């Protein structure tokens, strides 16, 4: 499987770092893109994260590298995840603006009917945010996965919470994994 990972300047860049680690373990060929704003967030939240993503990716690009292979629909992929996804990025995707490499790669996923997953990090959500996320969600091949606190899988650490979100993203792409405890219902 070949996926693109876009990392924008919202809080929770550590989710992207963890996603890159899990992708490497699951033999997913990962092509990553990082924005300038994400670089700043990494410096606060996950100082070694960019190096980790670089090690776990086939290639690492920055948002202004519009000549990267992933900027073309002739570069086949199975989809893309933007984690975390700023509201600015979601709004531009919703309105077809592709003025950086993450947005261009997302635009290609939409037009090629590949899966595109946004993991937005904003709270509270304004009516404008909700409208843009809705607009993205009805494109047919797009998914919105909020990194929510969950408890039925009995998390003990922050990493358990992170793995739940990452597992949900992997589920969208049909990747088999056991990184979180699935709901078994009350009848077990």
pLDDT at 187 over 50: no
- pLDDT of res. 118: 98
Domain for residue 178, yes or no?
no
Indicate the number of domains in the chain. 1
**Structure confidence at residue 184 as a pLDDT band (50, 70, 90):** confident
pLDDT for 188: 47
Q: What are the pLDDT digits (tens) for 121-137?
A: 999 999 999 999 999 99
pLDDT at 183: 86
Does the model's pTM come out above 0.85? yes
Domain assignment of residue 56, given as a range: 2-172
d(CA 53, CA 18): 9
Q: Quick one: pLDDT at residue 28?
A: 98
Residue at 94 is within a domain:
yes
Mean per-residue pLDDT, 30-55: 98
Asked if residue 98 belongs to a domain, the reply is yes
Residue 177 maps to a domain: no
The reply to whether 188 falls in a domain is no
Evaluate the omega torsion of the peptide bond into residue 97 and state whether it is cis, within 30 degrees of 0. no
CATH number assigned to the domain comprising residue 132: 3.40.50.1950
Give a yes or no: residue 53 inside a domain. yes
| Residue 184 within a domain | no
Tens digits of per-residue pLDDT, 139-182? 989 999 999 988 989 999 999 999 999 999 999 999 999 999 88
> What's the pLDDT tens digit per position in 64-123?
999 999 999 999 999 999 999 999 999 999 999 999 999 999 999 999 999 999 999 999
Residue 12 lies in a domain: yes
Separation between Cα atoms, residue 60 and residue 4, nearest integer Å: 10
pLDDT of res. 186:
56
- Which structure tokens are listed for 26? 């699951």
H/E stretch holding 43: helix 36-45
Per DSSP, the three-state class of 188 is coil
Identify the pLDDT of residue 181: 87
């Amino acid at each position: 499987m070949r996926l693109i990972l876009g990392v924008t300047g919202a809080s929770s860049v550590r989710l992207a770092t963890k996603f890159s680690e899990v992708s490497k373990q699951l033999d997913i060929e990962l092509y990553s893109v990082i924005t300038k704003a994400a670089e700043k967030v990494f410096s606060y939240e996950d100082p070694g994260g960019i190096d980790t993503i670089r090690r776990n990716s086939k290639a690492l690009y920055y948002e202004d590298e519009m000549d990267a292979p992933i900027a073309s629909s002739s570069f086949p992929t199975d989809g893309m995840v933007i984690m975390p996804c700023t509201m600015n990025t979601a709004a531009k995707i919703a309105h077809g603006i592709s003025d950086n490499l993450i947005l261009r790669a997302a635009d290609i996923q939409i037009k090629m009917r590949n899966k595109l997953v946004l993991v937005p990090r904003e709270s509270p959500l304004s009516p404008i945010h909700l409208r843009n996320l809705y607009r993205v969600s009805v494109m047919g091949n797009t998914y919105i996965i909020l990194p929510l606190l969950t408890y039925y899988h009995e998390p003990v650490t922050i990493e358990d919470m992170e793995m739940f979100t990452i597992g949900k993203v992997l589920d969208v792409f049909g990747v088999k994994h056991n990184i979180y405890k699935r709901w078994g219902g009350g009848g077990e």
